[in-house]
Amino acid sequence: MTSVPLQPPVPAHIAIIMDGNGRWAKQRGLPRLEGHRRGVESVRTVVDAARELGVRCVTLYAFSVENWRRPGEEVGGLMALLETFLHRETPNMVRDRVCLRTIGRTEELPSGARAALKAAMAATAHFTDYTLVLALNYGSRTEVQDAARAYAAAVLAGRASLDDAASWEGFSRHLYTHDLPDPDLVIRTSGEKRISNFLLLQSAYAEFVFTPVLWPDFGKAELIAAIDEFRGRERRFGQITEQLAAANAEAEAQRPADVII
């Protein structure tokens, strides 16, 4: 029996901008779609690793509202990969008790992708241990537009008050993510340093890690490195360091001296 100090917690919710599939393929003289196929393999690796590390929710930026501008062949290939992923991974998500969710205007996806999503979400809806969120046909600005429309409809129907808009809690209940925790950590792969219309409101107090690793090369080791960087950050939420130190000292005084493993 060994006594060890408590470690800083892992982030409860990690959101990832999966970038670099095309560049990964180009570096190897392969078609862009092959990069996306390899990126799908990283999805399973990272989701499994996050679950093993104690992360409760992972949100993946899988397809943005702007991605429709890409060549038709690539868009069609991405939708086919989505269907394949869902058909292949649904039994694994059931086995691992992972609840699948989506955010975005998924009603605009092709019928095959919608059907696969519906089946996968129905099969996993009752799980509460871990959540995988796929951001599909998602954009933060369109989310705000949809939330404002939903809020206005609720006011007209008498289900909400104009006063609700005066608080974040009142407005945020109309976002796609109304029943999900805000991300603690946002990771972007491939070396780009922007957030590309992804969870702009929800990431207000998130920590960001930008890594040069291309998404198909991003695995468990890279995830652990990002989490370690997160653990080394001081999250103040508008407070000052001294306030946090006092709160931490109080919490330390109230916990058991050791954790026994």
d(CA 224, CA 236): 23
Phi then psi for residue 41, to 5 deg, are -65, -35
Q: Choose the catalytic residue: 48, 67, 182, 217.
A: 67
Q: Choose the catalytic residue: 19, 21, 137, 184.
A: 19
- In the chain, alpha helices (H): 21-27, 32-53, 72-96, 111-124, 140-156, 168-172, 220-231, 241-254
**Is 137 annotated as catalytic?**
no
Place of tokens 């653990």: 231
* Cβ neighbours for 25, distance < 8 A, ≥ 6 positions apart: 31, 32, 33, 34, 35, 36, 38
d(CA 47, CA 53): 10
**Is 129 annotated as catalytic?**
no
Catalytic residue set: 19, 67
